[in-house]
Structure 1
Amino acid sequence: MNPVLAPATSASLIRREVAGLPSYDPGADPTEVAVLSGSGRVIKLSNNESPFGVSPVVAEAVRKALADGVSRYPDPTGRRLTEAIGKSLDVPAERVVLGNGSENILELLCQAVLDPGDLVVTQAPGFSLHETFPRVMGARVQKVPVAAEFGFDADAWRDALAVGPKLVFLANPCNPTGAMLGAGQLDQVVAAVPESALLVLDEAYGEFARPNPEYPDGLEALRALDRPWIVLRTFSKAYGLAGVRVGYGIASDSTLIQALDRVRTPYNVNHPAQEAAIAALGDHAHLADTVRRTALEIARVTERLRDAGLRVVPSATNFLFIDTGRRSERVARELHRAGIIVKAWREPGYETYIRASLSTPGDNDVFVRCLTEICAKDKP
């Protein structure tokens, strides 16, 4: 006799791992902030986008891709782009995977690798999707906290890795703090990762840090290792292609790439995105100019905020992690009234911090003035 089953509801069909997840926080809606502030222009500093746009070479590549027509599916393998990436990094194209942004590859890795109950180790504070995607698969997540002054805690990493995780997410530089690991610190983590684990090195903001002689090139650090690893990079940040969504990963071997290909959607990177990325990869001058201008603004804004008495984590990226000394959500709401959007950090232990990406010098001056005024009048 078949059992009598209760009628399903939408809520009853949802897996418990999914039901307990927080929604991704993209920051406030610019349209709503514009209405709230009464301003015709909103300064959006919540998503670490480039204020310098794309190069004319990239704009022309997108224009041509659209003119060629978008009624056909893109190349599902992205062969021209993977070959261009492989050539630029001296790796076979068969060891390159493309994603709809690098976070798409984070998702694919969790789908391909994790079983329920597996352990994942990552950073705290950290990128929310390094925790969310493993939890979707029923995995456990252990976060390694930073040391004092957001420094690297080698002992904490060794202890966490000794437990035997299956997947390790390490971002360098780190989102949201902007801090980076030096070569020796990265080597310590790599040496402590058990051979039974997959090491995922997330270098979404690596282009901003690369001029620093202390910053290690993750691909070079891992290239000779005879064990599974993957380095993730993106065109969304320093290259300014956030709107077309294209990231990539370079893996230790083609077997891992083949597994990711089995779980990804076959057309996950559209044709204009592929063409834009190929053009951006070849425009070294625009990338260098974006990185240079960003570094100047990071240094200038950091100095002004510190002069105003705010604690700012040293950043090797295009954003700042700022301790406002009061509830970050309240500070963010006050900034919304001024037409400025930042990310209020909600991770336990960091509820007084905001993350603000840098914009043009004029916009940055408005942000500094408004934030310092809010903090001066709103003593905790």
Structure 2
Amino acid sequence: MTGPAPLLRPELAALSPYNAGLTLAEVAARPGVTRVAKLGSNENPAGPAPEVIAAIREAAAGVGVYPDPAGRDLIAGLAAHHGLDPQLFALGNGSEDLLAVLARAVLRPGDEVVTLFPSFPLHEDYALTMGAKLTRIGLTAAGQIDLPALLAAVARPVRLVLFANPMNPAGVWLDAAALRQVLAAVHPTAITCLDEAYHEYASVTSGGQDEGPDYASAEPLLASHPGPLVILRTFSKAWGLAGLRIGYAMTNNAGLKRGFDLARTPFNTNILAQVAARVALVHPEAVVQAVALATRERERLADALNSLGLRVLPSRGNFLFVDCGRPAGPVAEALLDHGVIVKPWKQPGFGTWLRVSTGSSPDGDQFLAALARVLA
């Protein structure tokens, strides 16, 4: 006689709760903390354009009504912004929601997912939840993406190729030539998803141009890529809307678009988020300013961390990946007593690494002073 069925699906046994980090209030309540530098979640310290805040206030009177489930006004703005067919966009409660929707739409038990490592944990977790198996392509000893290994892995008939460019947490990236190589190598039956959450930090220059000197988005390749391709973007980072949770997908495949619509919840983006993102699109100057601040802080922090004798990987995100040379968990815990929040990385093989976001200059000063004391 068999016993009762397990309460939870067996796939969940491989997962750990997502490390969302501590809140400002939690750290501020610690004894002796007078100021908090929140550098653990890659947020934009400047927030959105003032016009966005005004639009949210105006829209707040309408929160008693369900939002447009299709987000038509925002999608029209996105289509105009990108010069693409509005029928090939999908909205999500942040781009992480779209990762879950994509997994539900396309992954089956036993399917293979190729991803870069170390990774944004939800790239792996949603795949594992659906019973898929992972193939991780790690960094080289020099801390670069292992391009030959990636090319060999994606050339096989895997179900899904999913990685971030620039990578999170490592910050490293594929340039235009390498990205074209990877997309050309992808097996024709494979689905490809490029998570470009940090696209603006990698591409927007002080003059507002949309390509950095050594980074390229997959967006110009959407039309020419022969297989199904999805690009994910978010308003949570450079656009300063992390608290509203709004992201979007662009695809070259009507079937994938239909899959997103079938697998998502009907009202997965709220009315304030839709309004805020729509207004943000017409005020890109706020993004240019945010990227300029992040770039200055990224370079300043990297120089200071190198002077402390720490290894820092090059980054095109609004964060740095730093090897403390000792377990990073206790370092991050000690920094909390100085009011500094960073993220110790917990994936296998990276226990001495932490990810630190680029905040304001005072945040950076507080972090550097506290880290010097902790390491001493």
TM-score normalised over the length of structure 2: 0.95
What corresponds to 1:326 in structure 2?
A: 326
CA RMSD of aligned residues (A): 1.3
Letter in 2 for 1:24: Y
Output the amino acid matched with 1:342: V
Equivalent residue number for residue 145 of structure 1: 138
Counterpart of 2:40 in structure 1 is: 46
- SS of match in other structure, 2:243: coil
Contact 1:152 1:185 in 2 (8 A): no
Percent identity, aligned pairs only? 42
| Contact persistence 1:37–1:338 (CA under 8 A) | no
Q: Which residue of 2 aligns with 1:363?
A: 363
AA partner of residue 63 (structure 1): R
Higher deviation after alignment, 252-261 or 200-209? 252-261
Letter in 2 for 1:368: L
Q: Shift of the alpha carbon at 1:254?
A: 2.2
Number of matched residues? 369
Partner of 1:260: 260
Runs of 4+ in 1 over 3 A off after TM superposition: 4-8, 29-32
Answer yes or no: is the 8 Å Cα contact 1:112–1:260 preserved in 2: yes
Partner amino acid, structure 2, of 1:199 = T
Residue 29 (structure 1) shift? 4.0
Contact 1:110/1:137 (CA < 8 Å) preserved in 2? yes
Amino acid at match of 2:365: D
In structure 1, the gaps of 5 or more residues are none
Q: Distance in 2 between matches of 1:363 and 1:130?
A: 29
Indicate conservation of the 8 Å contact 2:145/2:172, yes or no: no
Query: Could you tell me how far 1:270 is from its partner in structure 2?
Result: 0.3
Match of 1:200 among 172, 193, 198: 193
Name the structure 2 match of 1:123: 116
CA distance in 1: counterparts of 2:242 and 2:23, whole angstroms: 17
Q: How far apart, CA to CA, are the structure 2 residues paired with 1:115 and 1:7?
A: 25
Q: 1:19 aligns with which of 7, 10, 13?
A: 13
In structure 1, C-alpha distance between the alignment counterparts of 2:334 and 2:262, rounded to whole Å: 46
Kept in 2: contact 1:305–1:372 (CA 8 A): no
Work out the CA distance in 1 between the residues paired with 2:190 and 2:347: 26
SS at match of 1:71: coil
Q: What does 1:245-284 align with in structure 2 at a 5 Å threshold?
A: 245-284=245-284
Structure 2: runs of 5+ lacking an equivalent: 206-211
Residue 242 of structure 2 aligns to a residue whose secondary structure is: coil
Give the deviation of 1:18 after TM superposition: 1.3
- Pick aligned residue for 2:169 from 173, 176, 182: 176
**1:268-314 Cα shifts (integer Å, max 9, x gaps):** 00000000000111102111111111111111111111112111111
Q: Does 1:35 align with 2:24?
A: no
Q: Is the 8 A contact 2:76 2:86 kept in 1?
A: yes
Compute the TM-score of the two structures, normalised by the length of structure 1: 0.94
What residue in structure 1 maps to residue 74 of structure 2? Answer: 81
Deviation at 1:194, TM superposition (A): 0.5
Instruction: Report the Cα distance in structure 1 between the residues aligned to 2:374 and 2:8, rounded to whole angstroms.
Output: 42
- 1:9-30: per-residue Cα shift (whole Å, max 9, x none)? xxx2211001331110011344
Cross-structure match for 1:157: 150
Contact 1:324 1:353 in 2 (8 A): yes
- Shift of residue 259 of structure 1? 1.2
Q: CA deviation at 1:170?
A: 2.0
Query: 1:268–1:317: structure 2 CA closer, same or farther, 3 Å change rule?
Result: same
Q: Note if 1:187 corresponds to 2:180.
A: yes
- The CA deviation at 1:37 is 4.1
The whole-number CA distance in structure 1 between the counterparts of 2:122 and 2:13 is 16
Distance in 2 between residues matched to 1:135 and 1:182, nearest whole Å: 29
Instruction: Provide Cα deviations, 1:128-169, integer angstroms capped at 9, x if missing partner.
Output: 011000000000011101112221222211222234210011
